Amino acid sequence: MSKPMFFFTGVYETVAQAEQDYDAIKRLHHNKDIGSYDAAVLTKAMDGKVSVNKDEKPVKHGAYAGLAAGAGAAILFPPLLLVTAPVAVGAGVGAWMGHLAHGMSRRDAKEMAAQLQPGQAALIVVGIDEDSAKVEQATGASLSHVTKHLEGSDFDEAEDEAMASLQAQQG
């Protein structure tokens, strides 16, 4: 059965606020209120450089933490692809990027990325669409947020393809 995905981006005044909502999402998963997801906290320095502060992937293949969130971050901020996709995991990130980009236009990604201003933090979450409302409710500290429902996507399929790509690459 297909599990369509959502892509959430929230903007925060501080990293501490983003991490507070990040921890709230972890609690939802720990309490089994939401299923598989991946999340990352990003920051944008005053010079415009974006970096990943934290990532989390409590899904069935946790050995490659952060692949989905890394792909999401790279879709919003393409220079992060160089950071999030080293050769060892590049194929896995690539598989996730294909699934995330399937339901999102480049214009949508640019609009989501434009929310994050220098000095602010962001929380991105990639998860199963049926959990999107719970994630939105848990992220009350955000200044603003956008949730994109990715039509035609499948979380389990994306994860399985990412793992197959990684395993093939490791030979």
pLDDT in tens, 10-35: 999 999 999 999 999 999 999 999 99
pLDDT tens, residue by residue, 56-107: 554 443 434 466 777 777 777 776 655 544 444 455 555 666 656 666 777 8
Write down the pTM of the prediction.
0.82
- List C-alpha distances in Å: 9 to 5, 78, 105, 122, 161: 13, 15, 15, 7, 24
Strand bridging mode 5-12 / 144-150: antiparallel
Check the CA dihedral 72-35-56-18 and report its sign: positive
- pLDDT value, residue 59: 47
- pLDDT value, residue 27: 95
CB count in 10 Å sphere of residue 130: 12
- pLDDT value, residue 15: 93
Confidence band, pLDDT 50/70/90 cuts, at residue 40: confident
- Give the residue among 53, 50, 55, 44 at the shortest CA–CA distance from 74: 50
pLDDT tens, residue by residue, 153-162: 888 887 777 7
